[in-house]
């Protein structure tokens, strides 16, 4: 009798602990309880996330993060991440989600989960306007600058093994290498390169896509309630027309970073 009672109590205790753990691990519950959504964003990637003349962090990703926070009815707090630090910061709980120009790929799916695609672009090259580099075929024996820990680093090595790849912690450092003549080209997503081309006359984006780069918002694994909330916010942003307005604000024809809106980004009804 005692043994049976003990096992029953132990079973109930295990169920209680597991339920409390599940509750504690719910990002949606935490965000709503604390009234703050902590978003990991980049501070070095115009026009997605950068520090403007007034010292404020602004950009397309910041506006997307703000829209999600508003939909959840909470305040938005921004924390700086880089290509190298963003996934560890999410896993450690330093941020609640990543809105940080992050390509959705299979390798990263092993570490985190993703929202639906919220932006679609492709990897290209940024060169000086008088350069004879027009694509990856022209990169043999050349030096290419990119960011450490990015998909761009892997892709360019596969696309042109005969090129030397220099990696940096942040995009401005990679761009400066090209500007100073230490590298012949910079490679990353065209949407990020557009930020540097728009702010620096004498540079242009060239070549066909080296790879397709669908961006997703990073969330912790196995947190479906929070992922659903993020997805519903993105869907509403599309359905309401706010996404197109935000896109036009940062990538429209009258901006420094004109890019046509890709038809490959889809939201399911």
The count of other CB atoms within 10 Å of the CB of residue 33 is 10
Find residue 113's DSSP bridge partners.
219
pLDDT digits 0-9 by tens, 143-156: 999 999 888 999 99
Per-residue pLDDT tens over the stretch 209-245: 999 999 999 999 999 999 999 999 999 999 999 999 9
- pLDDT tens per residue across span 84-129: 899 999 999 999 999 999 999 888 999 999 999 999 999 999 999 9
What whole-number distance in Å separates Cα of residue 75 and Cα of residue 34? 9
pTM of the model: 0.80
Among 107, 27, 104, residue whose Cα is nearest residue 69: 27
Residue 266 has pLDDT above 60, yes or no: no
List C-alpha distances in Å: 208 to 48, 79, 150, 177. 22, 33, 19, 22
- pLDDT range class, residue 8, cuts 50, 70, 90: low
Q: Which two tokens stand for residue 93?
A: 């709980």
- Closest to 185 (Cα-Cα) out of 122, 140, 251, 121: 140
- Length of the chain, in residues: 269
pLDDT at 60: 98
Residue 67 has pLDDT above 60, yes or no: yes
Q: Per-residue pLDDT tens for 14-35?
A: 444 444 444 446 899 999 999 9
Name the range with the highest mean pLDDT among 8-17, 23-32, 251-260: 251-260
What is the mean predicted confidence (pLDDT) over 244-269?
A: 76
């Amino acid at each position: 009798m005692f043994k049976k009672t003990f096992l029953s109590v132990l079973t109930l205790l295990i169920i209680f602990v597991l339920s409390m753990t599940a509750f504690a691990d719910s990002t949606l519950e935490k965000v709503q309880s604390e009234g703050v959504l902590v978003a990991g964003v980049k501070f070095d990637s115009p026009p997605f996330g950068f520090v403007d003349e007034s010292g404020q962090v602004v950009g397309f990703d910041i506006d997307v993060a703000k829209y999600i926070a508003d939909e959840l009815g909470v305040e938005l707090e921004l924390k700086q991440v880089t290509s190298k630090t963003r996934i560890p910061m999410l896993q450690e709980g330093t941020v609640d989600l990543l809105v940080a120009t992050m390509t959705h790929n299979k390798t990263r799916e092993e570490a985190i989960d993703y929202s639906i695609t919220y932006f679609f672009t492709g990897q290209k090259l940024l060169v000086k306007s008088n350069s004879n580099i027009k694509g990856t075929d022209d990169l043999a024996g050349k030096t290419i600058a990119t960011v450490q820990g990015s998909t761009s680093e892997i892709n360019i090595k596969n696309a042109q093994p005969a090129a030397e790849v220099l990696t940096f912690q942040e995009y401005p450092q990679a761009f400066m290498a090209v500007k100073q003549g230490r590298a012949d080209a910079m490679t990353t997503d065209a949407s990020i390169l557009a930020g540097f081309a728009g702010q620096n006359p004498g540079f242009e984006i060239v070549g066909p896509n080296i790879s397709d780069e669908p961006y997703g918002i990073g969330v912790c694994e196995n947190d479906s309630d929070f992922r659903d909330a993020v997805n519903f916010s993105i869907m509403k942003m599309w359905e309401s027309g706010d996404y197109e307005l935000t896109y036009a604000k940062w990538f429209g024809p009258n901006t420094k970073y004109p890019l046509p809106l890709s038809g490959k980004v889809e939201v399911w009804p």
